[in-house]
Amino acid sequence: MSAAPLTCLPIRVRRLGRVEYRDAWQSMIDFTAARVPQTPDELWLCEHPPVYTLGRAGKPEHRLFDNGIEMIRADRGGQITYHGPGQAVIYLLIDLNRRGLGVRDFVSRIEQAMIDLLGEYGIHAGRRQGAPGVYLNTENGPEKIASLGLRIRHGCSYHGLSLNVDMDLTPFTAINPCGYEGLKVTRIADHADPCPTWSEAAERLAAHLQCELMAEQTV
What value, to the nearest 5°, has the Cα angle with vertex 37 and ends 35 and 43? 55
What is the model's pLDDT at position 7? 56
Could you read off the pLDDT of 183-196 as tens digits, one per residue? 999 999 999 999 99
What is the model's pLDDT at position 1? 35
Could you read off the pLDDT of 147-163 as tens digits, one per residue? 999 999 999 999 999 99
- Residues belonging to the binding site for substrate are 76-83, 147-149, 160-162
Could you read off the pLDDT of 116-145 as tens digits, one per residue? 999 999 999 999 988 899 999 988 889 999
What is the model's pLDDT at position 187? 98
Q: Is the pLDDT of residue 70 over 80?
A: yes
Q: Distances in Å between the alpha carbon of 141 and those of 99, 105, 135, 136, 216? A: 37, 27, 10, 8, 35
Query: What are the residues whose beta carbons fall under 8 Å from the beta carbon of 118, sequence distance 6 or more?
Result: 124, 125, 134, 145, 188
Pairing relationship of beta strands 80-83 and 126-128 according to DSSP bridges:
unpaired
Q: For residues 33 and 20, give the distance between their C-alpha atoms in angstroms, rounded to a whole number.
A: 20
Identify the structural domains of the chain with CATH numbers, from first to last: 6-213 (3.30.930.10)
State mean pLDDT over 85-102.
97
**Cβ–Cβ under 8 Å, residues 89 and 161:** yes
Q: For residues 46 and 172, give the distance between their C-alpha atoms in angstroms, rounded to a whole number.
A: 20
- Residues belonging to the binding site are 76-83, 147-149, 160-162
Task: Write out the catalytic residue numbers.
Answer: 178
What is the model's pLDDT at position 141? 86
Could you read off the pLDDT of 24-61 as tens digits, one per residue? 999 999 999 999 999 999 999 999 999 999 999 999 99
